Amino acid sequence: MNILHSIILGVVEGVTEFLPISSTGHMILVGNLLNIENSLFTKSFEIIIQLGAIFSVVFLYWKKLWNLENIKKLIVAFIPTGVIGLVFYKIAKTYLLGNSMVVLFSLFIGGIIFIFFEKWYQKKQKKDFIESVDVITYKQSFIIGIFQSIAIIPGVSRSAASIFGGLSLGLNRATIVEFSFLLAVPTMLAASGLDILKNHSSFTFDKIGFLLIGFVVAFITALFSIKFLLKYIKNNNFIVFGLYRIFIAIVFYFLLFK
């Protein structure tokens, strides 16, 4: 890995973290396309620089993050992801992260599910939608957390899984997107903290520099990505992201395996 790789992956992370298209999956695919060594550090890099994108949420939503009621809901939502992530950390790090075929399969299947689910969601009556994070219950928070935990599989997308869970519970698009933003904070802090704790001894000075570069680039680009998504969902649905997932899975399959 070099500085240019750090910048490119930082941009990829920042742009894709909050879109339902899998930031980790995109970093794995782009990394393979750039012939970046699939080392232990590369896998850690793909996890840790997500903190840069997450800090953009802290920057934009710090008032809501310090709301006690929201904090309690986020803790409840984080529990399933935290437990599953801790139990399956070694399996995910060893066999799933870096596996392009797993990513492509998850992107493709997830895209199909998104399209069909959106068709169902559009038939629901708008009067039934939950239109504020403030009225999300603890039970709903926990269920969204269960959905999010599926994203331990690269390519599923943490935001896609939580959005899918929220929509199935009757949240409107803006509400679940905002809740997904907030839930990313404890989720990625825990994931990055666990990885740093387990692998910090392998980080040399130059590798720490790569992490810092990726972190800053991801933070800046994520600010624009968040604002784009919030503006986009005001008048659009998620079908385009489902189509994109299918398209990108097919394109990268031929780029990497044909």
The string of pLDDT tens digits covering residues 112-148 is 998 988 888 877 756 667 778 888 999 999 999 999 9
Structural domain of residue 99, as residue ranges?
3-257
The upper half-sphere exposure of residue 4, i.e. CA atoms within 13 Å in the direction of its Cβ, equals 4
Q: What's the length of the chain? A: 258
List of residues 6+ apart from 4 with CB closer than 8 A: none
Q: Do residues 114 and 245 touch, judged by C-beta distance below 8 A?
A: yes
Quick one: pLDDT at residue 41? 85
What tens digit of pLDDT does each residue of 143-196 get? 999 999 998 898 899 999 999 999 989 888 889 999 999 999 999 888 888 888
What tens digit of pLDDT does each residue of 67-95 get? 999 999 999 999 999 899 888 878 887 77
Quick one: pLDDT at residue 127? 60
Radius of gyration (Cα) for the chain, nearest Å?
A: 17
Q: Count the domains in the chain.
A: 1
Backbone φ and ψ for 136, nearest 5 degrees, come out as -65, 130
| Token pair listed for 166 | 């929220």
Mean pLDDT, the chain, rounded, equals 89
Taking each helix axis from N to C end, the angle separating 50-65 and 68-87, rounded to the nearest 10 degrees, works out to 150
List of residues 6+ apart from 190 with CB closer than 8 A: 78, 81, 82, 85
**Gap between the Cα atoms of 140 and 147, Å rounded:** 11
Which residue is it, tokens 């993050």? Answer: 65
For residue 230, give the nearest of 176, 150, 192 by alpha carbon. Answer: 176
pTM of the predicted model, to two decimals? 0.88
35-39, 180-184, 231-235: segment of lowest average pLDDT:
35-39
